[in-house]
């Protein structure tokens, strides 16, 4: 068989201007007949998907959602149960041994993944049930019975005075400016019991545990303060402009540096001196006497190259230091070890990643009594522990709910076969998980972040998160994945309709033959089809809202919906058009009503004002999920999951069991109206059922 591919036949959708031929660039980079067979099979299947006039629509409720039906449903209201069904994995931003303990660890996930503890040295993990919801701390400080966990995204400092049994969140005096300015990078508790927090706006201190004030004495040259380190004589602070400072009490500081340098991301102290790590991968040791010593240089040793930051943890072995050094990888070196260990004070490093599977390292803690016992938190791959100095690592057990379930798809041919992408938005950390009856398996074949996943005609499709990237197509989650040119970069979702399959993102694209054709050259966030018998009109929404009777959008007409950045738009089974944007839910009782400004009305919800609000009409119910994103979160931002059976007159909370996060990113319909999936931003994947 030759390397070129035969024509796939004319699309039944009638787009004759687009030749239904698989482009040359789509061939798999494998040899011989396998290449031709796999590519030809995928191409033919894609063409069949695009041409099919029996595309499976989303499940619809039987009959019309009339007031009488709503009253009937109220009388028979079901009890929904929520279960975390995602992989026990995720982004572990902070790990910390309690002072004087080799068994007690305090742990935090990233984004809104919550606070955890381990009482057996990292072998198992359990959530702290009373900790604040939707929390993430890049540092946890502890002294006596006090725990301090500052929210990395600036939503306050969580303080417990009884080892995590009860908590309060302090915001008074903390920076509340733009996102980067209010980030909190680190924290420590002084010998006097004062709390120091390093923020994007400088150093802040609390002497009472009730409010904070900015510390300026001796810190005038610092931009963001990124790291704090207790030492024998007091404290060190490092800044984003590479400055280093010391203090005896945390109130007044003395600068140790004389000029700006590489941004400091970590500090450590050992028998041989103080270690300063930069975001670039450079690590310098400052000995008690003599000139600074470079112990890690990514320009001369590629093992130290990092795509985000460098993490170090140091413990003395007599007069020589044991150094654990972790990096965040790149997509091209997903399998390479990111954990390096030195037993000779940094003179040499060896890779010790057995059992880590190439995971990127974000946090490290060493047992204060045993330098061979260490725990690492990874970017998307969970937590691991070692008791042999990193020669081998074992995954921590427990229901860690720290994945950002940005992409999800349920196989219509097998409702217990799922795909999920836990994306961290970093170049070396895409994580595709596949679930079957035996549980979850990480598939390392998809080396790209993909928010939108779908099953289509025997194929799996992954739309890109990064602008300009291709759609990836495969017949198996194990790969290989074939690149299909697309302009829908940062695609949020796939939408299947009787008009074909649409990729919704930087542009709105429709699958025509074996290729994607641009339907709307404007950013879109969702699309929906008017249910029959009203016709197959497609409505797309983004910065505006448009309708197309043909599905090609050559006949697109604007809908006068209230001016909002729309996140979701969906028809319910009765033809009502629902849309969420700006933290609000709006409704038009019909497509005809949606064509007039007066036809739109706002529906009051418990999630008014949340940054992200998604609506999912499913069966006779409207589901509503809400949350916030990282630094965009405002003080008091709302999250949660609700449904209504009476078109918004009353809302029922469905998130009581959802901990430690309720930050809903997207909602997905299940196999029928009795099943719904909630994908959380940092809180994993949840399934809700009423049976």
Q: What is the DSSP letter of 79?
A: P
The more confident residue out of 321 and 407 is 321
pLDDT at 20: 25
Q: What is the mean pLDDT of residues 460-481?
A: 92
Render pLDDT for 524-567 as a digit per residue (tens, 0 to 9): 999 999 998 766 899 999 999 999 999 999 999 999 999 999 99
State residue 464's pLDDT score: 85
Report pLDDT for 329: 85
**Residues in contact with 325: Cβ distance below 8 Å, sequence separation at least 6, in sequence order:** 277, 283, 296, 304, 310, 311, 312, 339, 340, 341, 342, 349
Looking at residue 224, its pLDDT comes to: 97
**pLDDT score of 425:** 62
* Residue 624 pLDDT exceeds 90: yes
Looking at residues 496-508, what average pLDDT do you find?
Answer: 95
CA diameter of the chain:
84
Residue 467 is predicted with a pLDDT of 83
Contact 202, 214 (CB under 8 A): yes
Mean pLDDT of 428-451: 85
Share above pLDDT 90 across residues of the chain, in percent, rounded to a whole number: 73
Dihedral sign (CA 55, 60, 63, 66): negative
- What was the pLDDT predicted at 19? 26
Cβ(220)–Cβ(214) below 8 Å: no
Task: Write down the pTM of the prediction.
Answer: 0.87
What pLDDT is stored for residue 533 in this prediction?
A: 75
Q: How would residue 53 be classed by pLDDT, with cut points 50, 70 and 90?
A: very low
Confidence at residue 388, expressed as pLDDT on a 0 to 100 scale: 98
CA angle 74, 673, 50 (to 5 degrees): 145
Mean confidence (pLDDT) of the chain: 87
Length of the chain: 691
| Residue 460: predicted pLDDT | 97
What are the DSSP calls for 273-342, one per residue?
EEEEEETTS-EEEE-SSSS-EEEE-TTT-GGG--SS-EEEEEEEETTEEEEEEEE---GGGTTS--EEEE
Domains in the chain with CATH codes: 63-84+604-691 (no CATH), 89-171+262-401 (2.120.10)
Give residue-wise pLDDT tens across range 62-112.
333 333 333 333 333 458 899 999 999 999 999 999 999 999 999 999 988
What 8-state DSSP symbol labels residue 522? S
């Amino acid at each position: 068989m030759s390397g070129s591919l035969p024509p796939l036949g004319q699309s039944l959708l009638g787009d004759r201007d687009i030749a239904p031929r698989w482009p040359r660039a789509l061939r798999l980079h494998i040899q011989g007949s396998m290449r031709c067979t796999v590519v030809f099979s995928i191409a033919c299947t894609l063409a069949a998907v695009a041409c099919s006039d029996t595309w499976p629509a989303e499940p619809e409720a039987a009959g019309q959602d009339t007031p009488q039906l709503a009253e009937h449903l109220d009388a028979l209201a079901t009890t929904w149960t929520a279960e975390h069904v995602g992989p026990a994995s995720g982004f572990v931003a902070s790990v910390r041994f309690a002072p004087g303990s080799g068994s007690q660890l305090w742990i935090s996930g990233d984004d809104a993944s919550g606070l955890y503890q381990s009482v057996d040295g990292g072998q198992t993990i359990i959530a702290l049930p009373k900790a604040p919801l939707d929390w993430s701390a890049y540092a946890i400080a502890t002294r006596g019975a006090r725990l301090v966990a500052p929210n990395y995204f600036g939503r306050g400092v969580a303080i417990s005075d009884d080892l995590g049994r009860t908590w309060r969140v302090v915001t008074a005096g903390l920076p509340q400016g733009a996102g980067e300015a209010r980030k909190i990078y680190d924290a420590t508790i002084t010998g006097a019991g004062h709390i120091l927090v390093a923020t994007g706006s400088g150093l802040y201190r609390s002497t009472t545990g009730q409010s904070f004030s900015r510390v300026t004495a001796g810190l005038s040259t610092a931009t963001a303060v990124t790291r704090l380190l207790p030492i024998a004589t007091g404290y060190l602070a490092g800044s984003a402009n590479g400055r280093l400072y010391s203090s005896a009490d945390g109130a007044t500081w003395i600068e140790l540096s004389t000029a700006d340098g590489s941004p400091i991301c970590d500090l450590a102290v050992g028998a041989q001196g103080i270690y300063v790590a930069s975001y670039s991968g450079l690590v310098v040791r400052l000995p008690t006497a003599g000139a600074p010593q470079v112990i890690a240089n990514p320009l001369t040793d590629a093992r130290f190259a990092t795509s985000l930051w460098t993490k170090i943890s140091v413990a003395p072995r007599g007069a020589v230091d044991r150094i654990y050094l972790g990096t965040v990888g790149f997509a091209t070196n997903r399998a390479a070890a990111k954990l390096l260990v030195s037993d000779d004070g940094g003179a040499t490093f060896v890779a010790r990643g057995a059992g880590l599977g190439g995971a990127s390292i974000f946090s490290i803690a060493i047992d204060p009594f045993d330098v061979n016992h260490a725990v690492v938190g990874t970017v998307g791959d969970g937590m691991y522990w070692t008791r042999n100095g990193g020669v081998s690592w074992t995954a921590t057990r427990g229901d860690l709910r720290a994945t950002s379930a940005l992409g999800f798809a349920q196989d219509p041919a097998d409702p217990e076969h799922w795909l999920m992408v836990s994306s961290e938005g970093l170049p070396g950390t895409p994580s595709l998980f596949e679930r079957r009856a035996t549980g979850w398996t990480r598939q390392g074949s998809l080396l790209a972040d993909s928010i939108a996943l779908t099953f289509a005609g025997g194929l799996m499709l992954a739309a890109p998160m990064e602008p300009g990237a291709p759609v990836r197509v495969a017949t198996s989650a194990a790969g290989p994945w074939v690149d299909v040119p697309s302009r829908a970069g940062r695609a949020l979702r796939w939408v299947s309709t009787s008009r074909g399959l649409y990729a919704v993102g930087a542009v709105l694209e429709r699958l025509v033959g074996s290729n994607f054709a641009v339907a709307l050259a404007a950013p879109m966030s969702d699309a929906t089809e008017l249910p029959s018998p009203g016709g197959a009109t497609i409505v797309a929404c983004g910065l505006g809202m448009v309708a197309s009777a043909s599905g090609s959008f050559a006949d697109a007409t604007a809908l006068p919906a209230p001016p909002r950045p729309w996140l979701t738009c969906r028809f319910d089974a009765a033809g009502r058009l629902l849309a969420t944007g700006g933290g609000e839910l709006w409704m038009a009782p019909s497509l005809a009503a949606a064509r007039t400004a007066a036809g739109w009305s706002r529906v009051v919800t418990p999630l008014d004002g949340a940054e992200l609000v998604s609506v999912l009409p499913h069966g006779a119910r409207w589901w509503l999920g809400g949350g916030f994103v990282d630094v965009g979160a405002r003080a008091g931002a709302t999250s949660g999951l609700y449904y209504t059976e009476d078109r918004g007159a009353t809302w029922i909370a469905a998130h009581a069991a959802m901990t430690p996060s309720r930050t809903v990113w997207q909602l997905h319909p299940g196999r029928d109206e009795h099943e719904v999936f909630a994908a959380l931003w940092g809180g994993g994947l949840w399934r809700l059922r009423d049976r």
